[in-house]
Structure 1
């Protein structure tokens, strides 16, 4: 699993924040559910940042490799009597795991710092228990995150259009309300006329509406009686 230097720094930082993966004396270290969740979070972060092939198993292997290199560097420092300066670029970033090796001395008396065959302290869980079903869950969570992000982006992108649409709807609603009020007023007055007057009024209203649709109304337009 190839990663850039910056992404490796981010991985180490996320690893440090999730003490259930490395702090052997903590209560969280014994909780498998917390470990699974921690690996899932790291995997999702890596996938969002371009490492599409990332999964829980590959993340675990990547961390193991980093720690193996760390143990080698620590062995050189210890054997030099303080005359060797570490050249591993992430040594200071991952130094928090150094004291964890001494804490695990009781786990395996045959394990030695710097030994290539040293079993990492977070390998006490079986792969089946720790990683089973993770990828499917991660994919679902990732898709859910992507959908939520997509909605936010659409919302931001259409914010101005949304404002304009709201303004147009408000104006249209206001105009509709005014026309409805005029219609109610006309209806009330028509009801006060006798049947014959209602017919004449309706004919005149239709003529006015027709001329208005044709653009023929002006301040000179009026109703007159024919001689």
Structure 2
């Protein structure tokens, strides 16, 4: 399809009207099915394949981030109004709706701190479960506790799968909107192959 400027602006407008696709606070933001429905609606309006609409939006979002980055850098340097970067890209203003949900990426130190906190929380839950087995075991080191849990029951009782889910969700929140779309699509494909017992060490999920 030939994506004219007008067609691209129409795509952006339709995308902005469906905040489930880009607003992390939307109640169905994590629903893969709801997002697919939104993309199908968009595709039907502009008469293109949903996959093509997604790819075009990903391209537009990437350009928007680059232009926005230049503008913010000049503002940080304290440039005057006359010196500000002149935005000539046709779609920049159309993406203004993203400003309400835009979150700066956390520093590496903050990410490490968050991951450490999550790991401590998981270990604390394991220790509490071990403590319920016997009063003597409550004094055992965390490593012994983990070993006891592995023998006592399935891993799901230890909350390991839940912890993985929380960790994946946290990383998705730190991604840009179009990267979230690609990541969710690939995760869905991996899970489907796993349920069908098709996963191998060299499995291609592209």
Length-normalised TM-score, structure 1: 0.45
Larger Rg: 1
